[in-house]
Amino acid sequence: MAKIKGIAWGGTKVDKEKYEATAKFFAEVLGFKVVRSDRDITIYQLPNGDVFEVIGPTQAVELNPFVSGPKIDFLVDDVAEMRGEMEKHGIKFEGPVFSSPDQSWANFHAPDGHLYGMTDMHGHPSHKVK
């Protein structure tokens, strides 16, 4: 599996029906390390120390009327390679892999129904993380 390099912080707030599949997706498909998992919250730590959270409806209840997962981009070494690996897991992509001189990117739908992205931003300092 291709390696996700990191994000500064990110999270997705999901309803009860999507929580388990979403939490498993980030652990099993993307390989995020679970550092805490309690009722309706799973917290992951990425190799560079960044944090990502899957938050169910009983956590941060004050946000329920307002938040349903943001879109963020994960840093990878090779967008096309990662896309191929994710498609083997049935992950659906929105559009092609886009490219510019300093990066490539692609957008995909996770089990929570939200749109996320990945990029290989060639100059990003997190590429030094092994």
| Residue-by-residue pLDDT tens, the chain, 130 positions | 668 888 757 889 888 999 999 999 999 999 999 999 999 999 998 888 788 999 998 887 766 665 566 678 899 999 999 999 999 999 999 889 999 998 898 989 889 888 888 989 887 777 665 5
Nearest alpha carbon to residue 29 among 102, 101, 109 = 109
Specify the pTM.
0.69
- The answer to whether domain 4-128 has CATH 3.90.1200.10 is no
Under 8 Å between Cβ of 54 and 19: yes
Q: Where are the domains of the chain?
A: 4-128
Q: What's the order of all strands across the beta sheet hosting 9-13?
A: 9-13, 51-55, 41-45, 33-38
